Amino acid sequence: MRRSHIVAARRSAVLPRGGGFKSQELHELAAPVIRAALYDSGIEPERVGEVILGNALGAGGNPARIAALAAGLPEKVAGLTIDRQCCAGLDAILLGDAMIRAGLHDIVIAGGVESYSRRPLRLRTDPDGGAAQAYDQPPFTPWPDRDPLMPAAADALAQRFGISREAQEEWAIASHAKALAAQPMAEILSLEGATADSYARHLTHRLCARARPLAGSVTSATTAVAADGAAVCILVADRLAEELGMAGPAILAGRTLGDDPELPGLAPVAAIEAALAEAGLVPGDLACAEIMEAFAVQAIVCQQQAGIDPAIVNPGGGALARGHPIGASGAINAVRLVHELRRREGYGLATIAAAGGLGTALLLRT
């Protein structure tokens, strides 16, 4: 069976909405990251078969195609943009792997890009000719009573599993501390002068106590901020990687599964279990795990319910310490994992949850 290897993995810094990337269009964020990954790999642009990018907030128009052209890839590269909300960036990598396994391409660039700063305003037209109504969160289920706002869903998760506000704050404080200790990060390219995730700070219990309540035990201190950023991985078929002398972790398994839409933060657990089973592994085999921190409680529950050692989770900090560029966040986790596995060989996991009750997990091996 053909396998994919990730031979290069790069990302931009993650900057909060309205920050240093506030003027950047999607392709202006993604194209330099694509070029940097190609440079690292030594692959000529003409050899790339496809570019797949996750994006959740854009206005359509296939940003992957625009980014591919802006990056200098040949016009034959069609570009494919996918939207599975927060899972999109990681799902783009799984889709690229599937294309390579199926023999459609030998080289695929996959990841995600998002700009909260430049996202379009959303209006829903009135079929009776009245004024259009603005909205922020689109529906994720056909049932309004089972389609909670994300902070409320996070608090429901906290209540179900008995995760206190204090435990969530401890997780957030640790995430920021790890992120500060990990700077600089080799995977970040300089873009608009930004060479590091700007949001990481010395978070304290006193600052947490003053945080804005969002829903029950969930506060602004334990929620990732809206952000801008891009990340990509270059996937190469195993035989070609061997022929070209390229090294990089192999993609062992991956899975996206749906679960209870009222508790979306729980969905990655089933995906993690399915991916581990596919690879014939158990949680104790993992050397590193990059678990999404859209909310501290979501990361805690995933770590606990999947049976993952907390000591190997997000060693360079998580999204609480950098921000959450929705369609790119899963790809950022994958890029982080690739670089962490260069320091600690073995098996690695990247995982993320999405609104509507979705979870994605990716397993790599060095």
Evaluate whether 31 touches 248 at the Cβ level (below 8 Å): no
- Specify whether 86 is catalytic: yes
Segment 72-79 long-range contacts (CB within 8 Å, at least 24 positions apart)? 72/31, 72/35, 72/45, 73/34, 73/45, 73/48, 74/45, 74/46, 74/48, 77/48, 77/49, 77/50, 77/51, 78/50, 79/50, 79/51, 79/52, 79/53
Catalytic residue of the set 5, 86, 288, 302: 86
Evaluate whether 348 touches 290 at the Cβ level (below 8 Å): yes
| Calpha distance 299→293 (Å, rounded) | 5
| Calpha distance 362→291 (Å, rounded) | 11
Q: What Rg do the C-alpha atoms of the chain give, in angstroms?
A: 19
Tokens 């993604």 appear where? 30
| Cβ contacts of 191 within 8 Å, gap of 6 or more | 12, 13, 21, 29, 32, 33
**Residue 323, Ramachandran bin (φ over 0: left; ψ between -120 and 50: alpha; else beta):** left
- Where in the sequence numbering do the catalytic residues fall? 86, 324
